[in-house]
Every structure is written in structure tokens, then in C-alpha cells.
Chain A
Amino acid sequence: MKFRLLRRIFAWILGILLVHALAFFMMRTTRGGPFDDARALDPLVLQALEQRYGLDQPFLAQYGHALSGLLRGDFGPSLRYRDTQVSTLLADALPISLLLGGGALLIALLVGIPAGLYTARRAHALDGKMVYGGGTLLLALPNFVIAGLLLAVFSFQLKWLPPAGLGGLQNFLLPWLCLGLPLSAQILLLVRSKARQALASDAFRHATAEGLPPRIISRRYVLRPSLGPVLAFLGPASAAILTGSLVIEKVFALPGLGTFFVQAALSRDYTLALGVTVVYTALLGLCTLCADVLMARVDPRLEALS
């Protein structure tokens, strides 16, 4: 187990380096530079700027510089926010992204699992069908549409929650729902199908026939087998949250990593774009790793297979 974990960590680091290299070369072969704007810069000024940021050096030398920076955890100054270091920008934005993503994931799990179990048990009843239908509908709605609906109701009709900005936790409630609800619908579907299988299984019927207490039956023979796919889904779910947060951060004006990701690429802020890409890759790898470790815990057969 330990050896396998080390191997996974090694692969994770290798993945980060690979993505870093790819991002560097893809970005640098794209047309246009950080200082190409509507207003032309004086050629001498442009030259001085390129010199200061080492953009006048050969490609490989620049890559070497970026790589050594990565190993030291120093991405250099941002080319757009020229008076600020990339690491400062990342350090400011990361906690907001983690709070946003973590809360959304929590909502997805807290809503999705119970709803999945409920709809499995009441698959043929009207209320079960309604919850199931609601989940399917949520799945079909893009998160910015959900954002518009929630804003219309909670910010403008009821005036309970602020429409945007960074204040307290109340500013995060709507973004959490926008990101978390579509995921909860996916979890609902996963849990529902597994739980229905479990409810129809021999093991469940046997345990019921044995007269075990219902709580134990539920936990051992329904909940536990249903959680496997949810854990497997955590990796892709984190990816969905990371990418989904691009839109949600913009709509709710939350200064997380998501908006940086797009903006840095569009403004050819090479250093910041590399920094955000590396952080995203690292986060995504870490989430997948954690999900895999958890899955092995829940279902030892997986570890035996791997």
C-alpha cells in the first residue's frame, strides 16, 4: 500500500511538470504578447519591458528559468499585475477557491446522497419520482442559468442574500448552490441506481430475513455499496467544480483562481497563467489521489486488483 501510494505521488509530481511544460510551450507559441494592446508601445519601451521579464531570451532559456522557478515555488512577477508577485496573487485567490469549491462539494454530497437513497427506496412512489425528476432537471441546467434563477429569487425577490461581492459567508451561499446543485443531481443518480441494485440484492433480502435491525441493514447493505461510485466520482467532481467556478466566480465577483485562469491566458500573462495552471493541476491530482485512497478503504477489492 505504502509503495503504491509513493508511486502515485511520484506520478502526480511528474504530471505537474508535464502540464507545466506543455502550458509553457503552448502559451508561448500563441500569437501576441503581454504588451500587445490597443495603444502601441514605443519600441524602446517594449524592448525594455521584454528585457526586464526575460522575454528577449531564447525559448529554452526562458523555459529553464520558469522550471527552476517552479521548483523553488517562485513564479516571478505577474506580467499584467506588474507590481505584484504571482505567488502573492495565488496565495490570495486560493483560499477563496477552496472555500467555494469545498462548500459546493459538501452541498453536493449532503444533498445528493440522501436524495439518492430516498429516490431508490421510493422509486415507484410519486414523491420519489418528483425528486428524481427534479434531479434530472438540475442536471440539464447550466450553472449560470441556476445562478440567474437563484439571484432573481434570493437577492431580488426575497432580498435575503447579496447579489455579488466578497463580504461574509452569506456571499458564498448562492455560489455554493450554483456549483453544488448540478453535482448533487449527478450524485443522486449514481447513488440511486446503486442503492436500487442493493435493495434488490440477495444480501439485503437475506439480512432482512435474518431480522437484523433496519439501521444496520441500511448502513451495511445499502449505504455502503452505494458510496463506491460516489467516491469514484469525487475526482471528476473536483474537476467540474474547478472549471465550473470560472463562470460562477465572475457572476458573483469572487476573486478566486477561476477568473485568473481565463484572464491570464487572454492577457498573455505568462507567469500568472503558468502559476494558475500548476495550482489547478496539483489540486486536481490531489483530489483524484484522495478519492482513490478513500475508495480503496471502502472497497478493499480495488486495492487487491490494482
Chain B
Amino acid sequence: MPPRAALTVANGPDVEVLDPQITSTTAGGRIFSALFEGLTRLDPSTLEVVPGLAESWHKEDPSGRVWTFTLREDLRWSDGTPLTVEDVRASWERLALPATGADYAVWMTSAEVFANQELRSVQVHFPAPQPLFDRMCAFHALFPIPAALRNAAPGSTPDPLPCSGPYQLEERRIRDRIRVVRNPYSWRQIELGFESIDFLTLESQFTALNLFLAGEVWFTPNVPDLAVPALHREYASAFQPRPQFATYFLRFQMQEGPFQDKDLRLALIHAIDREEVARNLGGGRPAASSLVPPFTDGYPAVGGPNFDLGLAKEALSRYQKRHPEGLPHLEYLYPSSDFNRNLAEVLQQQWAANIGVQVALANQEAKTFFPAQRGLEYQVSHSSWVGDYLDPLTFLENFVAESGNNRTGFADPEYKKLLQWAADCGEPILRLDLLAQAETMLLQQAVIVPLLLDVGQELVAPQLGGFTRNASGVIDWAALYPKALAQ
């Protein structure tokens, strides 16, 4: 075993494929942001789009159908070879190829990319407006990747892996660790930072917590909910959970079955006391009254049916008048996990206590759950979504009829029209307003029920300087430094 890295962090589950186009987990995102860089980056304190590999960029038209990026001068991969506009073009084309098998292929399938070597510029044309493409470029699926990775045979990894980020890959041991060391060719100069970082694979949050408490790791991305009260008490400076751009919510299956009836949906929604749910579950996740977390500047506050026992009972009696035969068997489906089970039990208890409706609980392991949810083989089900970029669209686009992430049977042409108008709209404030109308429609029609915001539960050792908590879990590895050294 080589000697310890200058910084050791817990990184959660394994990064399955060391390819930013293929792995889309948050654990993968943390590693990719050390090894690679996008044309743009997000400032970890403001989450604003700042220059990355591109020194500048602009929309050619107000709606964002055409974007032009200009790369910095003399960019290089970590093996010293030039990083060119051609790399950008080829990477984006590879992302779109079905054979690549990328989760985010759809971002680029209809795009045309043109590279100009002399001007160091890349121009990308979309048939529909992409007003946030500069923000999307900060997400690792759109990072330029080296030719060695683009052309790697399936089932193999290039060795060495040319990198573009502040760090480069030194060693990868599956389910043990990924070690990165400084990339001498990065355009960013690290002054105080760490020479090397070990990202430990730790499936168990308890193990990660043990390592943190023993001082073996200086950062862990999340903690077991059970430990939250004690951490608040004893590690208040290291543990400051804050809401993330991610929501827990319920989906109703509206195509057939009992929840075709809006009154039954409303009865259940009005009977949920979100504040009580949040308190009951612990872990510090706040109640959410909208699907889109409230972090986008200029996005109006959106609301739908809330906790109101009077309205719940009214809705239920309307339903019962139409269905004098009584309530059918109702079932809540969730993917197996401790947290999901606790959430399910709290909801079940509230429905029974508040309006006397018995809902059976059923769980399936994730790989069974998702096809079942997609196939509408459920009545009401647990759901969650993590925003890919800080914009309401990353939540709302899921609920157009043809999206594979809709999974409710909701297919209102008005909804799609609102999203379309928002896309065509060049005026940012108006665009957000249209999106808010779409979300209101989603909530008012009782398609989904927002429940809780997810929280970032990072534990950060007091010795680790330069760490900024934010709503997207963005970490600037090059900005981290050991505090002792700085003093």
C-alpha cells in the first residue's frame, strides 16, 4: 500500500465507470470535478457560472439556440498533449451516440457542433432553445474527454488517463480508493492545495462516520440519520446540513385505478402534514411545498394543495358519494431502504389517523421498483429527484407526456405548451414565470406531492480549509487546503 495521500476523503459508493459521460452518480461527480473540467464551472459559493476551460462564451440568439465558446489559450491534457476544440466537438458527439450508453445522451442528440481551430471556438446549434447550456456545461456529462477515453474499447480503461482538471489520476482500486495527484498542466495554479487526494469508496455511512471520528478522513458526503442529533450536539462546526437542489415527493398513477379520481388524490394530499413528516424522520430534511427547491433567483414561489384536514375530508366524502361501494385496496410502493420505509410508515400512519384511509405498504428493491414505476404498475409511490443544474426545468421537463421520467400517466397538452413557451422565451423573468405556471398546474392537478427537501449532510473537518457548502454539492478541489499550512 502506498503512503497516505495528503488529503483523504470518504466518497460514498464506488464510481463504477471512470468516464464522466457514463457515470452520473454524485460520488462520480465529486471525482470528475477533480480530474476533469467543463467549459464552464460553478462558483461553489454563489453557484454562478464562471469560466472553466472556456475563457468566454455567448448566445448567438436570445433564446439560446446557438452558443459559441472560446477556449483558453494553450490548454493541455495531463500528458502534455494539447486540449483543443476538436476534443470538445468529438466529446459532445460521442455523448450523443447511442453506443456510448450515456444517461445524458439526450442533451446532445439533436445538436450540431462546429469547431474552429484558429479561433479556438466551438459553436453548438440546437433545433430548440437551450437557454441554460452554459450552466449545463459545468455538469460532468458535458466535460471534454480525451481521445484515449473516447476511443477506448468497451470494457477497458485507458492507462494513463489524460485529465484536464486540477488533479490527474494516479491510481484506481475498485471498491477501495481513487488516488489523484496534482495535474502540472492544469491552467489553474493550486497554491496552498493538497499534493494528492484519496477518495475512499465506502458503501456504509457508518463506516465513513467511524473513519471521520477517528480522524482518518477529513470529509464525508453524508452521515447516517441516526447520528444527526449527536453530530449537531458535538460536532456543530463540522456538521452544518443545508438543503440541496433535490426533492422527495410522491407520484400518483393517474392512468387507471383508484387514483384516476382527483378527489381521492386530494384527500390523501390534504391529509399529509409535511412538517410532522419532517420532524418525525429526523435527519434535518425540511418540508417542501413545491417540487422545485426554492434556490433559483427570480422563480416565483409555487404552491399546491397543503395540509388541511377539512379539505381532505371534503374531498374524501365527494369521492365516497361517487363510490358508495367504499374504498378499494390502496397500496404505496417504495424502493427498499431504511429511510424510504420510515417515510412510508409515517405517511401510512398520517393517512390512517387523519382521514381513516388504510394504505398498504409494499417495497421492492431499486432495480425492480424503477421498471414497475415506469410501467405504471403502482398506485402511489415514493419518488425523488436530484436537479442536474440549478434551474426549475431539470425538474419540470420530467412531466411532459413522452418523458421516461414522467411515470404518472399525466399528459396534459397545456403543460407541454407552457414548457415550450418557456423554452422559446428569450426573457429570463418571463421564462421563469411560465415555468412556475407549469409547476402550479402539476401541483394543482395533484399529479405529484412534494414532501421534503434533501439536505447535504457533509461532515468537514475543522482542519480542512477552503470548503464551501452549497445547494448543489459542488466542491472546488483546487480551493481546498490544510488550515495548519495556511497559518
Contacts and interface: CB of A to CB of B under 8 A. Distances in A.
Interface of A: 30-45, 47-49, 52, 76-77, 80-85, 89, 92-93, 151, 155-156, 159, 162-168, 250-253, 255, 259-260, 263, 266-268
Contacts of B174: 81, 84, 89, 92, 255
Contact of B98 (A44, A155, A251): A44
Contacts of B405: 39-40
9 contacts: A31-B364, A36-B367, A37-B370, A45-B103, A82-B17, A83-B18, A159-B214, A166-B176, A255-B175
A162 B207 contact: no
Q: Interface majority SS on B: helix, strand, loop or mixed? A: loop
Contact of B201 (A30, A52, A162, A253): A253
Given A45-B101, A163-B211, A82 B366 contact: no
Given A89-B174, A167-B1, A255-B173, A39 B157 contact: no
Contacts of B157: 83-84
B338 interface: no
B368 A82 contact: no
Interface in B135-179: 152, 154-157, 173-177
Interface of B: 1, 14, 16-19, 22, 24, 97-103, 105-106, 109, 152, 154-157, 173-177, 200-204, 206-207, 210-211, 213-214, 216, 364-372, 374, 384-385, 403-405
Contact of B207 (A39, A251, A255): A251
A266 B366 contact: yes
Contacts of A35: 101
A133 to B, nearest CB: 30
A202 to B, nearest CB: 55
A42 B109 contact: yes
Contact of B404 (A33, A41, A164, A259): A41
Q: What 4 A-B pairs come out closest when comparing CB atoms? A: A40-B404, A77-B155, A32-B367, A255-B175
Contacts of A42: 98, 105-106, 109, 404
A84 B155 contact: yes
Given A155-B210, A163-B214, A164-B211, A80 B16 contact: yes
B200 A253 contact: yes
Contacts of A80: 16
A218 to B, nearest CB: 43
Contacts of A41: 101, 103, 105, 404
Nearest to A144: B206
A72 to B, nearest CB: 15
A168 B157 CA distance: 27
B139 to A, nearest CB: 13
A266 B103 contact: no
Contact of A156 (B176, B214, B403): B214
Contact of A82 (B154, B177, B213): B154
